[in-house]
Amino acid sequence: MLSYQYNQDPSSPLGEGEVEDWTGDWPGGDDYDDDSSEDECFGERERKYVKDDGGWYRHLKHTLAERAFNVLYPRQLGVVIDKLYDGLTTGVVPWKEILLWILYATLVSHSCGLPALGEVLESRLSNWSRLQLSVAAFDHVMSLPMGFHDSKDSGEVIKAVEQAGALASILKTTLLETLPFVLDMVIACWYVTYLLDAYAAVIVIFVGVSFSFVTYYITIIMMNARRGVATQGRAESRKLYEMVSNWTTVAFFNRAKYERFRLTQTVERSVKASQWDTDVSHIMFACQEICEILGRLMISILAAFRIVRGYMPVGNFVALESYWDTITTPLWMLGHSYQQISSDLVDAERLLQLFKTKSDVIDAPGARPVQIPAGSVEFSDVSFGYDKSNPTIDAISFVAQPGQTVALVGETGSGKSTILKLLMRFYDVQKGCIKIDGQDIRDVTLDSVREAFGFVPQAASLFNTSILDNVKYGRLDATDQEVHNACKAASIHDKILTFPHGYHTKVGERGIRLSGGELQRLAIARVILKNPRLVLLDEATSALDTETESKIQDALRRLTLGIQEVFQGQRLTHIASRPATPSSVIVSAKGGRRSTECTASFHPASPSGS
């Protein structure tokens, strides 16, 4: 684990407003392996679960033991009643039978017996399953291509990922509730036949069938109601996310009352859907109770007739009444399980749809990490379009040699940012190929390609944590001093020292507490700390004032010293007035239709600047 040692003025101990060190849980050293696969990690966690917690074997042994004592407890109660009845004539108290009955009663107790132990084991399995599914859902969403993330509804995706608990609940309900209670029903049919006769088994089957019939048909109605609850819940979550994330827009136009009205309408629809779902649940419970009462009435009448006619002892009636709850509990639980599974499936529908969404940017079979001994980059007849009928870039070709600064120039929408995204393989080219040192980037691992780049976007985005943590995101094992040095190189260190908590200052959501220039320089510091082989700059200064741009140009000059290659997306107006050097290349994308390579040199601010 990483530990931060703060011994400088900017890192003095925090009092009020202290920022949580959320990188403390980052893996370090050998624990952090970018090349380990999700399947390997999952398998390792499963093996650890089996080793530490006994895994599924412990649950199986517990289930079988609990089923056995569910029969022994009421049977022993009947034995005690018969022995007490015999004691009226013999005067002998059946201490042995009573103590054994107390032992069985303790073992079937819901507070301290096998059921309590079962709940502990179930919670461990359920939490373990939820952990695996949550991580799998996160990994899957993060592996989806940029096309998905550009068009996604963030609030809805977050809500869907949160439904990993619903899928875990399905696993728990199916394996730990439904299957054991099916076993209970089989044992119940055998035991009531043993106590009474085959007619009793018929009654149990009748109750089970009628109970299941009622549950099945009412649950169909409940599923539609639950689907409405899930739909309205996602709409409510989406609306809240939009309003909170766009607070500044709401405030600028003074539309708080309007947004409150919109939210009220959304919540009202959600409440109505939830109320209908609750009403249907109560109707189903009432119908199930009627089935259970009718079954108890029929089995009691049958037992009474057999006792008064001398076919069985009185103790069997007591045992049967005691065991009836064991008979009907599985029915209640089966009904609840079916309802719960149906409800969870509805809740998890969006997550299941996410799992079905596949990425088209994946590692090829047998892909190996990219090797970059020199650092040349070649675009060979590359074409790509977000809409295939309207290509953004068409048949673009150029070669960038090691040590060059490559300026990608053109009007807005000409494809400059798209070229950078293709180079980092956020999208795959539709025609042609992109090579790094002769290696097609589609034939090497995706992680190794992205690890080779440092990227400074048009609009830098930070996590809502400290400046230190955000810069350290560029290299997780960096020391505090290395972070400070990177910030000095990015001309932001002195500014950070003026903040209330120095490097511990929390930047706000997406860095909203910082100015545009401060955000941009922190993004540069993060890339400096990473020390990549190639650097990509996407109009890093296009929207800044002259003074801030000058500071960032100076930071970029420091960033690119010693870097093998620099790609810059720039507008033509930012290039035209600048002097030239023989180590630069200008690539012009005009209208996204054609590209030409220019040998005219280009010097942004230094031999390798912007």
Average pLDDT, integer, range 280-299:
85
Give the best-scoring range by mean pLDDT among 12-26, 188-202, 564-578: 188-202
Q: Looking at residue 598, what is its pLDDT?
A: 36
pLDDT surpassing 70 at residue 41 = no
pLDDT surpassing 80 at residue 440 = yes
Written as six digits, the tokens of 608 are: 């390798």
How many CA atoms lie within 13 Å of 489's alpha carbon, on the beta-carbon side?
22
CA distance 552 to 479: 24
pLDDT tens readout for residues 241-264: 777 777 767 776 777 788 888 888
pLDDT surpassing 60 at residue 456 = yes
CA distance 90 to 605: 111
pLDDT tens readout for residues 21-40: 434 444 443 444 444 444 45
What is the phi-psi region of residue 405: left when phi exceeds 0, alpha when psi lies from -120 to 50, beta otherwise? Answer: beta
Q: Looking at residue 566, what is its pLDDT?
A: 59
Q: Are 321 and 91 in contact (CB under 8 A)?
A: no
Query: Largest Cα–Cα distance in the chain?
Result: 119
Q: Looking at residue 42, what is its pLDDT?
A: 45
Q: Looking at residue 3, what is its pLDDT?
A: 31
Same CATH topology for 40-356 and 377-598: the answer is no
Domain boundaries, given as residue ranges, for the chain: 40-356, 377-598
Q: Are 596 and 434 in contact (CB under 8 A)?
A: no
pTM score over 0.95 = no
pLDDT tier at 560, thresholds 50, 70, 90 = low
Q: Which of 271, 234, 218, 270 is nearest to 349 (CA)?
A: 234
Sorted by sequence, the CB contacts under 8 Å of residue 306 that are 6+ apart come out as: 196, 197, 312
pLDDT tens readout for residues 158-203: 766 766 666 666 666 666 666 676 777 777 777 777 777 777 778 8
Q: Which residue has the higher pLDDT, 33 or 546?
A: 546
Q: Are 503 and 11 in contact (CB under 8 A)?
A: yes
3-state secondary structure of 400: strand
In the block, which residue shows the tokens 């801030």?
548
Written as six digits, the tokens of 244 are: 């909170």
Q: Looking at residue 168, what is its pLDDT?
A: 64
CA distance 535 to 549: 18
Average pLDDT, integer, range 522-538:
85
pLDDT tier at 481, thresholds 50, 70, 90 = very high
Written as six digits, the tokens of 121 are: 């084991």
Composition of the chain by helix, strand, coil, percent to 5? 60, 10, 30
Mean pLDDT, the chain, whole residue set: 72
CA distance 610 to 605: 6
Phi–psi pair at 186, nearest 5 degrees: -65, -45
CB environment 101-135: b (16+ within 10 A), e (fewer): beebeebbeeeebbbeebeebbebbbebbbebbbe
CA distance 557 to 490: 9
Q: Which amino acid is at 350?
A: R
Q: Which residue has the higher pLDDT, 201 or 283?
A: 283
Range scoring the smallest mean pLDDT among 116-120, 188-192, 400-404? 116-120
Average pLDDT, integer, range 153-157:
67
Q: Looking at residue 296, what is its pLDDT?
A: 84
Q: Looking at residue 484, what is its pLDDT?
A: 92
Give the best-scoring range by mean pLDDT among 35-44, 420-429, 457-466: 420-429
Sign (positive/negative) of CA torsion 192, 196, 197, 201?
A: negative
pLDDT surpassing 70 at residue 85 = yes
Written as six digits, the tokens of 188 are: 């119940």
Q: Looking at residue 121, what is its pLDDT?
A: 66
Share of the chain above pLDDT 70, in %: 67
Average pLDDT, integer, range 547-563:
66
Range scoring the smallest mean pLDDT among 8-12, 59-63, 343-347, 575-579? 8-12
Q: Looking at residue 44, what is its pLDDT?
A: 52
Q: Looking at residue 604, what is its pLDDT?
A: 30
pLDDT tens readout for residues 344-377: 666 666 777 777 777 778 888 888 888 888 878 8
Average pLDDT, integer, range 118-124:
68
CATH superfamily label, 377-598: P-loop containing nucleotide triphosphate hydrolases (3.40.50.300)
Q: Which residue has the higher pLDDT, 15 or 513?
A: 513
Q: Looking at residue 21, what is its pLDDT?
A: 43
Q: Which of 584, 514, 520, 586 is nearest to 549 (CA)?
A: 520
Average pLDDT, integer, range 272-281:
84
Q: Which residue has the higher pLDDT, 134 or 295?
A: 295
Average pLDDT, integer, range 11-28:
41
CATH architecture of 40-356: Up-down Bundle (1.20)
Q: Which residue has the higher pLDDT, 28 or 456?
A: 456
Between strands 431-436 and 534-538, the pairing is unpaired
Cα–chain-centroid distance for residue 68? 40
Q: Looking at residue 482, what is its pLDDT?
A: 92
pLDDT surpassing 50 at residue 6 = no
CB environment 340-369: b (16+ within 10 A), e (fewer): bbbbbbbbbbbbeebbeeeeeeebeeebee
Q: Looking at residue 24, what is its pLDDT?
A: 43
Q: Looking at residue 111, what is its pLDDT?
A: 65
Please state, as a whole number, how many other Cβ atoms lie within 10 Å of the Cβ of residue 214: 18
Q: Looking at residue 547, what is its pLDDT?
A: 72
Q: Which amino acid is at 244?
A: V
